[in-house]
Amino acid sequence: MDIKRVGVVGCGAMGSGIVQVSAQAGYQVTVRDINDEFLNRGLGMIKSSLQRDVDRSRMTAEDRDAIWGRIKGTTKLEDLADSDLIVEAAIEEIGEKRSIFGTLDRVCPPSTILSTNTSSLTVIEMAAATKRPQQVLGLHFFNPAQVMKLVEIVRTIVTSDEAVEVGRKYEESIGKTPVLAKDQPGFIVNRLLVPYLLDAIRVYQDGLASAQDIDQGMLLGCNHPMGPLALSDLIGLDVLLHVAESLHAELAEPRFAAPPLLKRMVMAGHLGRKTKRGFYAY
Ligand code: 3HC
Expressed in angstroms and rounded, the spacing between residue 226 Cα and the centre of ligand 1 is 9
**Contact present, 96 and 90 (Cβ < 8 Å):** yes
pLDDT tens-digit series, residues 215-235 = 999 999 999 999 999 999 999
In a domain, 194, yes or no: yes
56 lines ligand 1 (CB under 6 A): yes
CB contact burial 208-230 (16+ within 10 A = b; e otherwise)? eeebeebbebbbeeeeeeebbbb
The answer for residues whose C-beta is within 8 angstroms of residue 21's C-beta and 6 or more apart is: 145, 146, 174, 175, 176
In a domain, 220, yes or no: yes
Expressed in angstroms and rounded, the spacing between residue 161 Cα and the centre of ligand 1 is 32
Same domain, 247 and 141: no
Same domain, 15 and 108: yes
- Which residues form the domain of 270? 190-275
Per-residue confidence in pLDDT tens, the chain, 282 aa: 789 999 999 999 999 999 999 999 999 999 999 999 999 999 999 999 999 999 999 999 999 999 999 999 999 999 999 999 999 999 999 999 999 999 999 999 999 999 999 999 999 999 999 999 999 999 999 999 999 999 999 999 999 999 999 999 999 999 999 999 999 999 999 999 999 999 999 999 999 999 999 999 999 999 999 999 999 999 999 999 999 999 999 999 999 999 999 999 999 999 999 999 999 999
Same domain, 129 and 226: no
Its pTM stands at 0.96
Q: What pLDDT, on the 0 to 100 scale, is given for residue 1?
A: 75
Q: How many domains, the chain?
A: 2
Which atom of ligand 1 is least distant from the CA of 52? 19
Q: What pLDDT, on the 0 to 100 scale, is given for residue 101?
A: 98
In a domain, 216, yes or no: yes
Same domain, 149 and 211: no
The distance from CA 73 to its chain's CA centroid, rounded to whole angstroms, is 19
Same domain, 99 and 79: yes
Q: Atom 48 of ligand 1 has which residue's CA nearest to it?
A: 142
Of the residues 182, 202, 235, the one at which a domain ends: 182
Supply the CATH number for residue 97's domain. Answer: 3.40.50.720
Of the residues 115, 148, 182, the one at which a domain ends: 182
20 lines ligand 1 (CB under 6 A): no
Expressed in angstroms and rounded, the spacing between residue 180 Cα and the centre of ligand 1 is 23
Expressed in angstroms and rounded, the spacing between residue 52 Cα and the centre of ligand 1 is 14
Expressed in angstroms and rounded, the spacing between residue 146 Cα and the centre of ligand 1 is 8
49 lines ligand 1 (CB under 6 A): yes
Q: What pLDDT, on the 0 to 100 scale, is given for residue 2?
A: 87
In a domain, 94, yes or no: yes
Cα–Cα dist 103/105, whole Å:
5
Catalytic residue check, 190: yes
148 lines ligand 1 (CB under 6 A): yes
Catalytic residue check, 88: no
Pocket test of ligand 1: the residue of 147, 154, 176 to mutate, having most ligand atoms within 8 Å of its CB, is 147
Same domain, 112 and 144: yes
Cα–Cα dist 233/151, whole Å:
21
Catalytic residue check, 140: yes
Q: What pLDDT, on the 0 to 100 scale, is given for residue 74?
A: 98
In a domain, 131, yes or no: yes
In a domain, 282, yes or no: no
Q: Atom 11 of ligand 1 has which residue's CA nearest to it?
A: 147
**Contact present, 249 and 192 (Cβ < 8 Å):** no
Q: What is the DSSP string of the chain?
A: ----EEEEE--SHHHHHHHHHHHHTT-EEEEE-SSHHHHHHHHHHHHHHHHHHHHTTSS-HHHHHHHHHTEEEES-GGGGTT-SEEEE---S-HHHHHHHHHHHHHHS-TT-EEEE--SSS-HHHHHTTSS-GGGEEEEEE-SSTTT--EEEEEE-SS--HHHHHHHHHHHHHTT-EEEEEESSTTTTHHHHHHHHHHHHHHHHHTTSS-HHHHHHHHHHHS--SS-HHHHHHHH-HHHHHHHHHHHHHHH--GGGSPPHHHHHHHHTT--BGGGTBSSSB-
In a domain, 232, yes or no: yes
In a domain, 281, yes or no: no
Q: What pLDDT, on the 0 to 100 scale, is given for residue 48?
A: 97
Which atom of ligand 1 is least distant from the CA of 240? 54
Catalytic residue check, 270: no
- Classify residue 274 as exposed, middle or buried by CB count within 10 Å of its CB (0-12, 13-18, 19+): middle
Same domain, 235 and 104: no
